[in-house]
Amino acid sequence: MTANVENGAYLSRPAWHGLGTVIEPGTTVREAFALSGLNFEVEKQELFLSNGQRAGNEYGLVRSNDDGSHNYYATVGDRYEVFQYVELLDFAERIIEHYDFADPDALVSLANGKRGFLSFRVGGFNIDGDKMEFNQNFGAGHGGKGIEVFGSARRPECDNMYTQMVGEARKGGSLFTAKHTGSLSFRLDLFADSFKAGNQERQEFEEFCRRMAGWKNLTGKELNGLVNNSFSLLRPEPAKDADDKKKTRWLRAKMAFGQEISRVLNSKTCQTSATKGTAYGVWNAVTEYMDFDMPKVVDRASQRFDPRSVNSKRKAQLQEQMSLALSS
């Protein structure tokens, strides 16, 4: 099965694999859920041996289909609590109440329904044609996988994309989980507080970007100052008593950095005609360099506007540095 997708509902545009249903803006969450392939129930059933004896404290997770057939998902213990996908939807709706708006962006059934996720578009902004979107994702599974909740700067569309995003969120410390051993309600307050904080963080980030975009017509001195300060943040200058070879390597790296930033400043992937020559353009160039300078190259759009991406610490420092330059 392509991308391990059983079915799905995707807002406005089809997924890369072409499976699922495209839904129009204004589609309600419940309408999207009905088209997602997640609207079924799983039962926790007792297991028996061939002689009719109970198989200890083990249970089977069984999906019942409309045609009368069944899917066996996993064997679990007596403490395991089944979370239906509609319960995950109820939980998600309570969380996204903390956002100004939330559109169902991708609701997808994976691996014959054994896993699935709900992705809601919860914000975004557009600066002179440079569009940024943010999603809140809720995933669950029947068997070993529990509840996973995290934010991202794009929607997942298949098993691989979802798994990659979970890994990024885990590394960035922004993945929240709950096991199938109790009610979701006891985690609700924790999740809600985290998402409110994340929403505030994104609003502050938008304000920062708009201020940077408003800093137009940079002088050569201002441009070089921002670029040089950015490099010093990424790679601090060697101490005065460092050996000459180390100092030479640093100077060469600084020169190469300046050349690369100059190239990116004029690239179509980084800039729009309106952002060239602004401090926001420099921010785009430096953060693109940071993402592609990583050992594992990933889609820049997946990290550049995510405050909790792999380079989040350096980007936070860079944002603070440029904010100080704005106020000076």
Give how far Cα 66 sits from Cα of 39, 62, 149, 209, 307, Å: 11, 13, 29, 50, 43
The token duo for 133 is: 């979107």
pLDDT at 194: 63
- Nearest-angstrom CA–CA distance, 119 and 102: 10
| 3-state per-residue secondary structure call for 164-217 | HHHHHHHHHCCCEEECCCCCCHHHHHHHHHHHHHHHHHHHHHHHHHHHHHHCCC
The set of residues, in sequence order, having a beta carbon less than 8 Å from that of 55 and lying 6+ positions away, is 46, 47, 48, 49
pLDDT at 189: 64
Contact call for residues 62 and 43 (beta carbons, < 8 A): yes
The set of residues, in sequence order, having a beta carbon less than 8 Å from that of 94 and lying 6+ positions away, is 188, 192
Give how far Cα 311 sits from Cα of 116, 233, 302, Å: 28, 13, 12
What type of residue sits at position 304?
A: R
Contact call for residues 308 and 169 (beta carbons, < 8 A): yes
- Nearest-angstrom CA–CA distance, 154 and 79: 35
What stretches in the chain show pLDDT beneath 50? 1, 294-310
- Nearest-angstrom CA–CA distance, 194 and 158: 26
Contact call for residues 257 and 228 (beta carbons, < 8 A): no
- Nearest-angstrom CA–CA distance, 171 and 120: 22
Q: Which residues pair with 64 in a beta bridge?
A: 70
Give how far Cα 118 sits from Cα of 135, 240, 299, 307, Å: 10, 54, 21, 21
Helix (H, G, I), strand (E, B) or coil at 137: strand
Contact call for residues 90 and 83 (beta carbons, < 8 A): no
- Nearest-angstrom CA–CA distance, 123 and 307: 14
C-alpha angle with apex 203: 202 to 206, nearest 5 degrees? 85
Contact call for residues 95 and 107 (beta carbons, < 8 A): no
Tell me which residue of 117, 150, 170, 89 sits closest to 3, measured CA to CA.
117
